[in-house]
Amino acid sequence: MKVINNILEITSYLNSFVSTGKKIGFVPTMGALHFGHLTLINTSKDQNDITVASIFVNPTQFNDKQDFEKYPRNTTEDLKKLSEIGCDIVFMPDEKEMYPETDSTKFNLGKLEEVMEGKFRPGHFQGVAIIVNKLFKIVKPNNAYFGQKDFQQLAVIKKLVSTTNSTVNIVSCPIIRESNGLAMSSRNTRLKEEEFDQASLIFSTINQLSNYIANNKFSDFKTWVISQINENKLFRTEYIEIVDTETLEIVTDLKNHKSITCCIAVYCGQVRLIDNIQINL
């Protein structure tokens, strides 16, 4: 496995593969890797000749400075995991490399910036779009792999690809969960043991939603979810929303929707956890 820190080097290294017709798969990450990330790498390995992972904790996507500072970083372990799984190239730039100067690019992300993660984390998706756009230009992958854990981020990336006329094919990968149902996340390492155990409540609640909406007034679902979760004093629901899976429009009644997705953000102390579940109607 080759670890590369600068743009010139990775560009020329990748050129040698591109010129021989090799297909490149790319998995952008912020490190502190868990099995969810490794599943993305494995999927890329199955579908491409060369797999590139990047590790970069991107400052422009953090609307909360403390969250950026406390974001878990564990490069030694990450490189060990990536090497063991057979990742070919790891791109690990520093901040100066990715941001030689302040980047004030603004992408048209439409309504995606106004709801859920967009609403509660102002500027977050512009930061995501800026870094992914830069990484796509550097790595020039055929396929790029993103997790459904970050459901709205996937929509942002698809919008980015469309507005920039990019030819990168976006591959959406299923959510990988802990054995108690909690969606795997780098932030889970910041949970105390009791918090980690009880955080299974988030998935178990949204997992009962299809049953709830089949038997109750649809408009009551928010109150129900919030009461289920906030009943446990460890947790505070930031938002709960049901959106159309394709358009991400907020669903107010179930007519005219084939598939809906319930998205939730919950604070456990300072740690912000997100999850979602798709319900096909």
Give me the residues that bind ligand AMP (CB under 6 A), please: 29-30, 36-37, 40, 146-147, 149-150, 173, 175-176, 183-186
Q: Collapsing DSSP states into helix, strand and coil, what is residue 244?
A: strand
Q: Collapsing DSSP states into helix, strand and coil, what is residue 223?
A: helix
| 150: enclosing H helix or E strand | none
Least distance between ligand AMP and beta carbon 21 (Å): 27
Least distance between ligand AMP and beta carbon 272 (Å): 12
CB 60 within 8 A of CB 131: yes
Q: Which is nearer to ligand AMP, 129 or 176 (CB)?
A: 176
Least distance between ligand AMP and beta carbon 40 (Å): 5
- Report phi then psi at 277, rounded to 5: -145, 140
Please report the sign of the dihedral spanned by the C-alpha atoms of residue 98, residue 103, residue 108, residue 113. Answer: positive
Beta bridge partners of 4: 91
E-state strands within 38-180: 50-55, 89-91, 143-147, 169-173
CA angle (54, 43, 98) in 5-degree steps:
15
Q: Is 34 a catalytic residue?
A: no
Given 34, 37, 124, 257, the catalytic residue? 37
Least distance between ligand AMP and beta carbon 230 (Å): 24
CB 243 within 8 A of CB 251: yes
Q: Could you give the strand order of the β-sheet that contains 259-268, starting from the edge strand earlier in sequence?
A: 235-244, 259-268, 271-280
103: nearest Cα among 79, 75, 128: 128
Identity of the residue numbered 14: L
Q: Which is nearer to ligand AMP, 10 or 30 (CB)?
A: 30
- Report phi then psi at 244, rounded to 5: -70, 130
262: nearest Cα among 97, 39, 280, 21: 280
Catalytically active residues are 37
